[in-house]
Amino acid sequence: MERITIEDVDPALRAATRRIQRLPDLPAPLVTAALRLAPAPRFPDLVIRTLRVGAASVRVYRPRRASGPAALLWIHGGGLTIGDARQDEALCGGTARRLGVVVVSANYRLAPTHPFPAALDDVHAAWGWLQQHARRLGVDPARKAVGGESAGGGLAAALVQRLHDEGAAPVAQWLFAPMLDDRTAADRSLDVRGHFVWDNRRNRHGWSAYLGQEPGLPGAPTWSVPARRTDLTGLPPAFITWGDVELFAEEDAAYADALRRAGVPVAVDVVRGAPHGFENWARSTPPARALTDRAQRWLAEHLDVPLAEG
């Protein structure tokens, strides 16, 4: 396999990609702290609060004015080992403002200190908190979606599967470059490709830390690896996006195909020349703004709320 180079990246994303390249090898707590403190836009038209929920916390974005009676539970990324809800302030705040909905961004315990099922239990508790407080927040309990990016997208997909099995599935799943399949990490031939931002070596570390075993082994616990589920029948409609030069491209495409075969409506948005997570760290670029616009339009339709322009 050939190594991915900057020439494979969309010209509009190359400057940002050169700045970020690949994540530095720093201790996980330092990376998480940096993500928590990264510059983000302010939203004076939102009430933003962080609340303790169980073993973790949620960051709640609520429009000051009357909002649509719908909500999104969002889950941040970070390879299951790093990350914080504040790293997605721009997307969560922007979505709450543009759609006029409540966004609840879930923090969760991180591996390897807290392996599976800690993270899934924490986002499940965040969903339960949202369900319990829906009326107080002005949210119709039947109009809630679950979304996430990268590892958060994988946790979102796993949470949707768990909620479906419990008879309480959301109306939609909103997945940005989701980390869905530990078998990708087990394929060491992908190591040589050197994907920007998130490569297979880091992927293997994340899955190993989360599962407590080498990725790709048989017998992964239920809901731990979304792509391993064989029966996807009855899951809610999905929006799935990824970049065609990122590590998760094949596993995301395979999951989208599996959902379709199970009769689940799927909207796929593949961004050419886009490295992993570009909609976050390159959010001011035209490709990122365009993707966010398309994704928010899909979400507004499935939550049945009006969409503000811009």
**Predicted confidence (pLDDT) per residue in 196-245, tens digit:** 999 999 999 999 999 999 999 999 999 999 999 999 999 999 999 999 99
Residue 57's pLDDT is 97
> Average of pLDDT values for 278-289?
97
> Average of pLDDT values for 299-310?
90
> Structure pTM?
0.95
pLDDT category of residue 162 using cuts at 50, 70 and 90:
very high
Residue 310's pLDDT is 61
The separation between the first and the last C-alpha atoms of the chain, rounded to the nearest angstrom, is: 41
Residue 179 sits at the vertex; the CA angle it makes with 192 and 52, to the nearest 5 degrees, is: 135
pLDDT category of residue 20 using cuts at 50, 70 and 90:
confident
> Average of pLDDT values for 138-147?
96
Half-sphere CA count of 75, side-chain side, radius 13 A: 37
> Average of pLDDT values for 276-295?
97
Can you tell me whether residue 177 is helix, strand or coil? coil
Contact of 220 with 120, CB cutoff 8 Å: no
Share of the chain above pLDDT 70, in %: 94
Share of the chain above pLDDT 90, in %: 89
> Average of pLDDT values for 102-131?
98
Distance from C-alpha of 152 to C-alpha of 132, rounded to nearest angstrom: 22
Cβ count near 164 (within 10 Å):
17
Q: Which has the minimum average pLDDT: 130-134, 207-211, 264-268, 306-310?
A: 306-310
Domain ranges of the chain: 6-300
112: preceding bond cis by omega (within 30 degrees): yes
> Average of pLDDT values for 138-143?
94
Q: For 244-256, write each residue's pLDDT tens digit.
A: 999 999 999 999 9
The residue that leads in pLDDT, 36 or 253, is 253
221-240: burial string, b at 16+ Cβ within 10 Å, e else:
eebbbbbbbeebeebbbbbb
What are the residues whose beta carbons fall under 8 Å from the beta carbon of 188, sequence distance 6 or more? 200
pLDDT category of residue 127 using cuts at 50, 70 and 90:
very high
> Average of pLDDT values for 70-89?
96
Residue 21's pLDDT is 74
> Average of pLDDT values for 280-292?
97
Residue 23's pLDDT is 56
226: preceding bond cis by omega (within 30 degrees): no
Question: How far is C-alpha 188 from the chain's CA centre?
Answer: 24
Can you tell me whether residue 183 is helix, strand or coil? helix
Compute the mean pLDDT over every residue in the chain, rounded to the nearest whole number. Answer: 94
> Average of pLDDT values for 158-169?
98
Residue 31's pLDDT is 67
Give the closest residue to 148 by CA, choosing from 98, 79, 61, 221.
Answer: 79
Half-sphere CA count of 99, side-chain side, radius 13 A: 32
Q: Which CATH number fits domain 6-300: 3.40.50.1820, 3.30.565.10, 3.30.360.10, 3.40.950.10?
A: 3.40.50.1820
Residue 48's pLDDT is 97
